[in-house]
Amino acid sequence: MKYLIVNADDFGASRGINRAIVDLCEGGIVTSASLMIAMPATSEAVRFAERSSKMSIGLHVALTDENAEPLVDFNDPKRSAAVIARQIDIFCDRVGRLPSHLDSHQNVHRDERLLPLFLAAATRHSLPLREHSKARYFSSFYGQWDGEPHPEQIGIENLLSMMRTEINDEFTELSCHPGYCGPDFVSPYDKEREIELQTLSDPRFLEFLRNNSIALTNFREAASLWSDPLSA
């Protein structure tokens, strides 16, 4: 059996993003979400997390804004580590438990100045860190690169084509960014969110999983099967 975690990033960024993630969760598609803890719709997202038993909630550490501008000096490891620790603490205060997993907005944890800090935080709290856990990260479901939109990349036909070759491990994380566009959140990645929502809602997605013996799971359930959450 192969296991797929469908993880929605940017939970809490806006009411439209929240609504899309909740719709997909209730439709049995999104299984995990990564929460931003200081955004306009964070409180609404937390309320859903409190009453949902279907979805595991991780922390989407935000060290950059929507234009990829740093919110902290990456060359200051002490300050950067403090901001990461503070966001984990705020998550725990607001959600009432540790996150089920750890990742970062715009994947800045890949930065060589930040990765040791993220690994240390993940180790301290025994959390799976994106790209450093038993869940292989499938990042190709994204409709923009080099500042140019590529809606064909996030259509249903292309998603299914990619999944035929990408899902070949026991656990895979499919990252997604679904959302309904709205005036309360301005992002360079905007209309693509609604295309992602439409694609993931397509009945052919769940049909593909059934036909290929791929079971949906979330980080909380998967981590219970892992002896070491950081062991890739």
Q: How far is CA 36 from CA 42, 99, 165, 196, 197, in A?
A: 7, 11, 31, 19, 19
Q: How far is CA 101 from CA 32, 85, 115, 139, 141, in A?
A: 9, 14, 15, 16, 20
Question: If the chain, 232 residues long, is cut into consecutive pieces of 10 residues, what is the mean pLDDT of each piece?
Answer: 95 96 96 96 93 89 94 98 98 95 97 98 96 94 91 96 89 96 86 97 98 95 81 64
Please give the pLDDT value at position 81. 98
Fold of 2-223: TIM Barrel (3.20.20)
pTM: 0.94
Domain boundary assignment for the chain: 2-223
Please give the pLDDT value at position 1. 82
